Amino acid sequence: MTAAWAVCGVFLAWGVGWIWLASLRHISMLERLGLAYGFGIMWISLVMGVLAWTGLPVSPVVAMPMIIGFPLGWELLRRLRPVRIGPIDPVSQDEMASQVVSRLAGRDAWWWTLLACLMILWLIVAVRAAVAPVHVSDALSTYAFKGKILFSERLLSASFFQTVEPANYPLAVPLQEVWIGWLVGAWDDWAIKVLFPSYLLALMFLVYGFLCKRWSARTAMWGTAFVAGLPLMFQHAQEGYTDLPLAYFVLAGSVLMSYYAMLRFPSWLVAGGLCAAGMVWTREDGAIVAVVNGILLLAVELREGGPQARSTWTALGLYAVLPTAVWSIWSLVKLHFGVSSNLMGYTGAVDLVSRVIDVAIAFVLALFLYGNWLILWTLFIVAVLWYSRLTLTRESVFLVWPVVGYLGIVAVLCVRTDLFQYVVGGSVLTRLILHVAPLAALGTVMVLGRAWGLAGAPPATGNAG
């Protein structure tokens, strides 16, 4: 019964996100499915965070009406409006079902084999997540512990920040675990892990949806397997860390931003901003990607309209408003409770050359020689070096350059700050790389797919894969 309620919590998050995404235009069913989970679960944890910030009790009685009520009200309003603003192509349910069936029947053996492999892998990690309680160090003593306290105390207090460690980490994942606790009716070390395989599943839906809109189904499935086939990502899908959720929001945010770059609908920009809010609400280092995306957006806008164009600054404002608000509110909360940031301090004078060499070796080991990424980074480097022009297209700029920017900033931080000690001789670097690895894989697939002529013909319409 506990498991059923936990799964119900995930479905509810998916449903809430599904409703919120109704206003996004030109979105395929699979993309909507992929984005819905992230949007839903982020909405839930943001509402809970706002309640905690305002001093209201973080309890189901107070939060549920807001979590469910707002999206339902929005949906009602949308349906009552004379002009339907939803994006779904006006096809009947029967038509859609028959389209899906006929398309599935037309898939070749490669497509089915790859799908079977991905499904088996996902099922394996889902079962692994289900049989074990949350237990790996930070998953238990940092994130689940915070969730357990919030579940029990129902408010953010000074004693909360004195009890937990590190106190400055954002609360998205602990609050999402509280959400599952509410549905289950008790704090359960098994049930809360249902969140993480779901992030992986949503990520796979999103990638396949994105690719099959452009390429043939078989090539899209190969691309999805390439993006999803990252061993460290599967390992994270069975434990309650924040790295996979951040990787999901980084990927989703960049996909939305690249749609904005291509289609120029402001709604994509707001959605991209919500993903950026998801990044900073999940982990502090998510702010790096959010900022890099902002800089890229500014560059794209300046190229389009120049610095005088009002749209340039409006676009930047639309994107930045949500992540800035979340970051600011969380900073105020920390300030109020006297929580200092554990952002790494400047290390002062060091032997720069030897540090650069140490960091370079740590990067080579982490990117290529452990079992985390297969051949991802080899092909990514080839894509960036060889086909740099293709990486600068509207379609690819947000898929490739946030990765370069993030890794570049991490490398500088490793050389110049105390992060060095966690990276050289430790394994933290691979988790930092995980934040952008799925995005790097998608960028690589897009660039090399075009450059090497791998992309087949796209399907006639983009609503099903």
Contact positions toward other proteins, by CB under 8 A? 117, 120-121, 124-125, 127-128, 131-133, 135-137, 139-141, 144-145, 148-149, 152, 190, 225-226, 229, 231-232, 234-236, 239, 241, 361, 364-366, 368-372, 374-375, 378-379, 381-382, 385-387, 426-428, 430-431, 451-452
- Smallest gap from Cβ 169 to other proteins, in A, equals 15
Please answer whether residues 30 and 96 qualify as being in contact, where contact means their C-beta atoms are separated by less than 8 angstroms.
no
Cα–Cα distance measured from residue 118 to residue 130, given in angstroms and rounded to the nearest whole number: 18
Please answer whether residues 151 and 178 qualify as being in contact, where contact means their C-beta atoms are separated by less than 8 angstroms.
yes
Torsion angle, alpha carbons of 440, 443, 444, 449, to 10: 160
Q: Is 417 helix (H, G, I), strand (E, B) or coil?
A: strand
- Smallest gap from Cβ 233 to other proteins, in A, equals 10
> 417 φ, ψ to 5°?
-130, 180
Separation of CA 404 from chain center = 17
| Nearest residue (CB) to other proteins, 5 versus 327 | 5
- Smallest gap from Cβ 124 to other proteins, in A, equals 5
| Nearest residue (CB) to other proteins, 90 versus 453 | 453
Nearest Cα neighbor of 191 from 2, 320, 397, 451 is 2
Cα–Cα distance measured from residue 82 to residue 85, given in angstroms and rounded to the nearest whole number: 9
- Smallest gap from Cβ 131 to other proteins, in A, equals 4
Cα–Cα distance measured from residue 50 to residue 39, given in angstroms and rounded to the nearest whole number: 16
Please answer whether residues 285 and 435 qualify as being in contact, where contact means their C-beta atoms are separated by less than 8 angstroms.
yes
- Smallest gap from Cβ 404 to other proteins, in A, equals 16
Provide the β-strand partners of residue 90: none
Q: Is 346 helix (H, G, I), strand (E, B) or coil?
A: strand
| Nearest residue (CB) to other proteins, 121 versus 446 | 121
Nearest Cα neighbor of 193 from 128, 247, 138 is 128
Which two tokens mark 412? 């500088």
| Nearest residue (CB) to other proteins, 236 versus 283 | 236
- Smallest gap from Cβ 295 to other proteins, in A, equals 26
- Smallest gap from Cβ 120 to other proteins, in A, equals 7
Separation of CA 115 from chain center = 22
| Nearest residue (CB) to other proteins, 32 versus 148 | 148
Rg (the chain; Cα; Å): 22
| Nearest residue (CB) to other proteins, 126 versus 212 | 126
| Nearest residue (CB) to other proteins, 160 versus 249 | 160
| Nearest residue (CB) to other proteins, 264 versus 389 | 389
- Smallest gap from Cβ 224 to other proteins, in A, equals 12
The DSSP letter of residue 132 is S
